[in-house]
Chains A and B, each alone.
Chain A
Amino acid sequence: MTHHRTQAAPVILNVSRRGLIKGMAAGGGLVLAAQFARPARAYPTGADAMPNKTVSDPHVFVQIARNGIVTIVAARAEMGTGAARTTLPLIVADELDADWSKVRVVQSLGDEKKYGNQDTDGSRSVRHFIQPMRLCGASARTMLEQAAAKRWGVNAAECVAQNHEIVHKPSGRKLGYGDVAEDAAKLPTPAASRVKLKEQSAFRYMGKGNVPLVDLFDITVGAATYGQDVRLNDMKYAVIARPPVVGGKVASFDATETMKVAGVEKVVTLDPTPAPAKFAPLGGVAVIAKNTWAALKGRDALKITWDDGPNRSYDSAAYKAMLEANVRKPGKMERNQGDVEKALASAAKVVTAEYYGPHLHHATMEPPAATARMLDGKWDVWAPVQSPGGTRDDVAAALGVKPEDVNLNCTLLGGGFGRKSKCDFAIEAALLSKAMAGATVKVVWTREDDVRHGFYHTVTVDRFEAGLDASNKVVAWRHRSAAPTFMANFEPDPKRPSGIELGMGWVDTPFNIPNIRMESGEAPAQIRVGWFRSVNNVMHAWSVQSFIAELAAQLGRDQKDFLLEMIGPGRIVDPRKQVSTAFWDYGEPFETYPIDTGRLRKVAELAAERAGWGRTLPKGHGLGIAAHRSFVSYIATVVEVVVDDKGSYTIPRVDTAIDCGFCVNPERVRSQIEGASVMGLTLARYGEITVKNGRVEQGNFDDVPIVRIDESPKETRVHIVEHGINVPASGVGEPGVPPFAPALCNAIFAATGKRIRKLPIGEKIA
C-alpha cells in the first residue's frame, strides 16, 4: 500500500475508523485516497439557493504559468473587506500548497454562468465560497500530482504537492508547478469525491492572518484603480442633474448657458423609470464635456424646471409621527409564541418604550462613477459594483442587448456598504455612451449627487412592551416595528417588511421569554430605500439591546447579568413554526446555522471579561454591553464612554468578541471589527438623512458628518472565538456594526442615567 508513505498518521487512524476494507475493495491507490478523503462539501450552505450558485472548477479559477506563477481569479467585488481579492484566493492557494509570493490575483468580468454567484453582499463571500475554493485549490493540486506522476510514469498516490513543487516520495524527485502546469491543465477536473482536502494542521494561510492585502502596495502608492479612476483614450466626462424628488422628471430645461461653457460638448436627457424601478437611473439632464470640471460648470449653468411627482409630499418629520401611530396600534402578526395579550394583561408590571432610528446614508469615500463605451459591437463597462454579474444583466437590459454583448469590468470599490449593490450609475454610463454613438463616457457622481440620490437605510420605529410577573421575571415581550421596505424597489410597494428584513434582528429574537409576539406596522416607501451595511439589524439591535438594559436598570440588575438571563441557557432557538412569513436565516439552511444561544452567551461573556466588566470606574465613565447575532455570526461589544459635565463624550476603549465559525483571515476580521466601531459611532453620533418636500436636505460632509480620527474610539480590541475548520464559517463584514450603538447608549446610561431612544445622539448628550 502506498498511502502509508503519503499520509500523515492521524489520517490513517481516521481511515481505519471509517472502514478501510470497503476502500480497499474498491480498487487502486487513487480510489483508496478518495475513500479516506474528507468529503469536499462537509455541510450545505445557502450558496445553492443563490442565482448561479458556486463554481469550483480550477480550469475557471486557476492558471499556472511555465515560470510557476499561479494566477487566481477573483470573481467577487473587492470593497474593502479583503474577502474577494485576498481571502478567497488564499484559500485556493492554501489547498494548492502554493507559495504565496508566486501567486497573482486577477479580477474576472461579470459572468455568473462562468464563475458562480458574484453578488458581493450579505457577508456571504467566505461563508459561501470557503468550500468551493478549497475544492478548487485541492483539485488543481490533484491535477498537478497526476501530471507529474504521468511524466515520471509512477502512481499518482506516490506524488505529493509541497510548497510549489511536486515530490515523488519514493525517489525524492521533484518538479516545479510550472514544469507540469501545461500537462495538468489538459487533464479533466477530478470528481470532487476523488479530491482530498487538507487537514487543518497542514494549513499554510487559512486561519493564520499571514497574508497581506493583495492590493496593499498599489493602495499606498496611488496605483489602485477605483471606478472614479478609470481612464481611457478619448474619454468624455459626464455629470447629471437628477430629479430632486424620486419619481420626478424634467418638465423643461434650458441649456443655452451650459453650451457656452468651454469644454462642454453635449446635453442629453435621460428618462426616469416608473416605480418599481429596481436599480434603474433616476433620469435627468446630463452634461457631457472634455473634463469633469467643464461638465460640473455646465451643469451649474443648466436651468431646469422639475415635475416632482407624487413623492413631493415626503417629509421625514411627518413620517416619523405616522410610524409612531402605526406601532401604537395592533399590526400584522409576524411571530407569535404563547399568549402575549394574556400575559401582558395579567402582568404585575408592564414596561414600555419606543425607539426611533432615522434614514442613514452609505457615504462611501468613493462616490459612484462608471465608464462605458461600444467597441466592435460589444459594450465595455467599468464600474465599482458589488454585483458584477447582476450589473452586466441590468446594463444589457437597459441597452436592449444580450448580456453576452456586455463586458462588465469590476474595478476596486472605494467602499460599498450596500450602496454599490445598486448599479444605477453603471446604467447611466451605458445609456450616455449610447446617446453618444458608443463614445467612451465616464459618469462622475459628486458627493452631493451621492448624498441626495442614494438608496437610504430605512427609517424605523420600534415599540416594546415587556410584562413582568410578581417576582420581576419577564414573562411577555411584544415588539412592534414599522419601517419602509427595500422591496419597494422590486415590486409595487408592499408596505410591510419582507422575510429578509424580518429575519434581521427581529423575529429571530433569541430571548428566553415564554410569551413573544412581533407585529409590523404599515410603512409606505416614498424614497429609494436600500440596504445599508448590517441592514435592519442596525436599528433592531440598537432598540432591543437598549430596552434590555432599560429593564435591567428598572429592576436594579447588572446589565450584563440581566442580558445573559434574557438570553437564557445554551440551546437552539427555532422560530420557524412561529412566524407568518417563511423564516429567513440569512439565506442559510437552519440546520447548518441554527440560532445557538450558547454561542451568543459566550461572546457576551468573553467581551465582558476582556473589558473588565464590573471594574471600578472614575466619575463620568460608564460601561455598556450589547450582544447580537447577525449574518449567522455572534458578536458582543462592550463600550467604555467618558461623559464630561457639558455632555461631550469620548470613547477610550471598545472590546468586541466575535464568533464567526472557522476564521479564515483573522487579520482582516480584526480590521473589519475595528472599522465597525467607527461606523457604529458615526451612525449613533451623527447618522441622519432628513427629507422635506421629497428632497434630501443634506449634501456633503458638513451636514453628513463622518466620525473623524479625533472623535474615533481610541482603541478597539477584537477577541475572536477560535474554532476548527469543522465549524462553518459565517459572516464578518456586517456583524460588527449592530452591537456598537446599543453598547454605547447603554454605557452613556451607566455614566449619566440618561436613556437615548432617538438617534442620532449628536455631539453632546442632551
Chain B
Amino acid sequence: MVNLRVNGRERTFGGDPSMPLMWYLRDELGLTGTKYGCGVALCGACTVHLDGEAVRSCGVPMSDVGGKAVITIEGLDARGEHPVQIAWRNLGVPQCGYCQCGQIMQAAALLKAKPAPSDKEITDAMSGNLCRCGCYQRIHAAVRAAAKGA
C-alpha cells in the first residue's frame, strides 16, 4: 500500500508499485491535466510538483511517492489564477495546448524557488519542456511577466 496526498487529498494505492505516478494520476484518479508525451522524462508534458519540486511524473514509480505530496495542474490554484496561469492567458501562449500544463507546472516551481529569475535561469529551467507548436517565445515572456507580477 502506498499512501500519498494528491492536491491536498489523502489517497491510497494498492496496485503495481512499478506503475509510474503519471499513469496513476491519469488512469486511476482521472487527473488528465498531467499529459503523456514520451514516458521517459524527455518532454516534460507530465510535470507535477512532488513535495514542492517539479518532477516528470512518468519517471517516478508509485513505490517512490509514499508519504509525499503531489500537486498537479488541477491543484495549482483553486480558481486557476496562479500568476503563471494568468500570465499564460494574458500573453496568449498556447497553440494546441497539450504541453502547456507541464510548462506551467515547471514555471510555477521555478518562480517558487526563484521569484526573480534571470533570462538565462528561465531558459535553463524551461529547457526540459518540449513544445512542438513552438510557443517558446511567449513561454519565456510569460514566465518573465509572472515573475514581475509575483
Contact = CB atoms under 8 A, between A and B. Distances in A.
Given A80-B97, A213-B94, A708-B129, 13 more contacts: A80-B95, A219-B101, A220-B100, A222-B74, A291-B15, A293-B16, A366-B37, A412-B96, A412-B97, A414-B99, A447-B39, A671-B138, A674-B138
A700 B130 contact: no
A82 interface: yes
B132 A364 contact: yes
Contact of B130 (A231, A292, A701): A701
Interface in A427-451: 444, 446-447
Contacts of B45: 365
A288 B15 CA distance: 17
A565 to B, nearest CB: 33
Interface in B64-121: 72-74, 76, 80, 85, 88-89, 92, 94-101, 104
Interface residues of A, number: 65
Contacts of B126: 709
A22 B113 CA distance: 74
A222 B92 contact: no
Nearest to A364: B132
Interface residues of B, number: 58
Contact of B104 (A220, A363, A675): A220
B74 A709 contact: no
Contacts of B27: 237, 291-293
Interface string A214-255: 011101111111101101000001000000000000000000
B23 A292 contact: yes
B69 to A, nearest CB: 18
A415 B98 contact: yes
A591 interface: no
Contact of A216 (B18, B89, B129, B137): B89
B92 A213 contact: yes
A676 B132 CA distance: 10
Contacts of B31: 222
B129 A709 contact: yes
Contacts of B132: 363-365, 415, 417, 679, 706
Contact of A225 (B32, B80, B96): B32
Main secondary structure of the interface of B (DSSP, over half): loop
A219 B94 contact: yes
A710 interface: yes
B59 to A, nearest CB: 13
Given A292-B23, A701-B42, A710-B123, A365 B131 contact: yes
Contacts of B128: 708
Interface in B131-146: 131-140
B35 interface: yes
B40 interface: yes
B40 A700 contact: yes
A262 interface: yes
A219 B92 contact: no
B124 interface: yes
B130 A712 contact: no
A118 interface: no
Nearest to B80: A221
Contacts of B37: 365-367, 447
A205 to B, nearest CB: 15
A217 B19 contact: no
B123 A82 contact: no
Given A222-B72, A701-B42, A709-B139, A677 B134 contact: yes
Contacts of B34: 222
A630 B37 CA distance: 31
Contacts of A365: 35, 37, 43, 45, 96, 98-99, 130-133
B38 A701 contact: yes
Interface in A269-317: 291-294, 297
B96 A80 contact: yes
B8 interface: no
A446 B39 contact: yes
A619 B104 CA distance: 38
Contacts of A82: 95
Given A226-B98, A292-B26, A701-B42, A367 B36 contact: yes
Contacts of A364: 96, 98, 132
Contacts of B15: 262-263, 291
Given A228-B35, A237-B27, A222 B101 contact: yes
